[in-house]
């Protein structure tokens, strides 16, 4: 009888070559299945639709807020210029709340010189104009503007803030943009009598 040689049984851990190849193949198939799904999400039209709506609203709001508060306000602001403030005795009254909108002779947007001229302004045909009257088309989009007097002490101010039935030192500007999918975007700003 031959002497028995002791064997060292060392357990080896790890993956075989076949297991590694199978894992790579399974991951490759999974990636190929999920790739169209992620591609469709990243190319979805919804973000583009919303970006266009935001650009339409913000550009018009920027234009409006750059204008004077009222016809009796000096260009560039300054001390309160209308009778709604007691700081300037004898100052002329601001545009009455019933007369908000374009002033006499201001027949186009290029002639609007104060915030309340934009009250009632609307572009509903999908053809829009910038401040220089250059036109561009975004089919299915609309935008409109509301300007109204609000109380300075109102707790919360948003596009639903009610109008005052008289003139005050604050005007609420609401630009509403309707996207091609019917989603509404509201841009709200408050201008004070300065």
pTM, full prediction: 0.71
Residue 50 burial by CB count (10 A; 0-12/13-18/19+): exposed, middle or buried?
middle
Give tens-digit pLDDT for 160-191.
Answer: 888 888 888 888 999 999 998 889 999 999 88
Mean pLDDT of the residues in the chain? 82
Q: Which comes out higher in pLDDT, residue 70 or 146?
A: 146
Q: How far apart are CA 145 and CA 177, in angstroms?
A: 9
Do 123 and 142 touch, CB atoms closer than 8 A?
yes
β-partners of residue 135 are 129
Question: Mean pLDDT across the stretch 124-130?
Answer: 88
pLDDT digits (tens, 9 = 90+) for 133-163: 888 998 999 999 999 988 766 567 778 888 8
Q: Where are the extended beta strands (E) located within the chain?
A: 122-123, 127-129, 135-137, 142-150, 170-178, 184-192
Contact 113, 71 (CB under 8 A): yes
Rounded CA separation 118/62 (Å): 12
The answer to whether 82 and 92 are in contact (CB under 8 A) is yes
């Amino acid at each position: 009888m031959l002497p028995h040689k002791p064997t060292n049984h060392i357990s080896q851990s790890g993956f075989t070559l076949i297991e590694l190849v199978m894992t790579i193949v399974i991951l490759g198939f999974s990636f190929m299945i999920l790739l169209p799904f992620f591609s469709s999400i990243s190319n979805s039209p919804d973000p583009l639709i919303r970006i266009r709506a935001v650009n339409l609203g913000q550009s018009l709001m920027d234009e409006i807020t750059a204008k004077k508060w009222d016809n009796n306000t000096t260009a560039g602001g300054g001390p309160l210029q209308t009778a709604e403030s007691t700081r300037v005795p004898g100052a002329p009254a601001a545009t009455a709340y019933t007369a908000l909108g374009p002033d006499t002779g201001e027949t186009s947007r290029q002639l609007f010189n104060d915030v309340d001229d934009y009250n009632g302004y609307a572009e509903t045909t999908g053809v829009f104009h910038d401040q220089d009257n250059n036109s561009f088309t975004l089919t299915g989009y609309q935008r409109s503007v509301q300007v109204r007097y609000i109380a300075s002490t109102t707790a919360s101010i948003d596009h639903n803030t009610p109008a005052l039935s008289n003139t005050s030192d604050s005007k609420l500007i609401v630009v509403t943009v309707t996207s091609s999918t019917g989603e509404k975007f509201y841009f709200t700003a408050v201008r004070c009598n300065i």
